[in-house]
Amino acid sequence: MQENCVNDLEQRGIFRNPIENEYQNNLLPFIYKNANEINFNDFIIVDQLNDTFKNHFLQKKKNSHRQSLSNEIERLENLKIMRLEEIERKKEEKKRRNEEILRIKRENELKKLKQLIETELISQMELNDDPQDIFDINGFHTKAKKACNYFIIYF
């Protein structure tokens, strides 16, 4: 009966076992409090880890983007330099062509002037019909005809 009486009182909520009472009033709140603190600390650690990983990821992205921008700037500068070099090369080519055209014009004018002088001299002077051998200062040999006091050199 004693056991039934204790069970009956426990079921009605009037009597509690002191061990169970200590368990309910002290140990469970302590466990819940510690578990809550552990969870809270875990959440703080997880948040710190997330912030660390996020910052690391963002920093890597920033560095990658910065590197991409610097590569693009370098590529554009190289492209600009290549364009300037191409423009300079074209200017030099145009200058060289103009110089070549001037040289050819001078040569043509010189040939025309030589032919004009030759025709004028020959038409005004009497030529000695037999060509004479002449030598210049350097010892080069050539044929020429004497007209008055001049020699007409045949090239």
pLDDT > 90? residue 20: no
Give tens-digit pLDDT for 47-96.
999 999 999 999 999 999 999 999 999 999 999 999 999 999 999 999 99
With 0.85 as the threshold, say if the pTM is over it.
Answer: no
The whole-angstrom separation of Cα 121 and Cα 143 is 17
- In this structure, the chain runs to a length of 155
pLDDT > 70? residue 23: yes
For residues 89 and 20, which has the higher predicted lDDT (pLDDT)?
89
pLDDT for position 124 = 64
Question: In one letter, which amino acid is 6?
Answer: V
Contact in structure between 155 and 144 (CB atoms under 8 Å): no
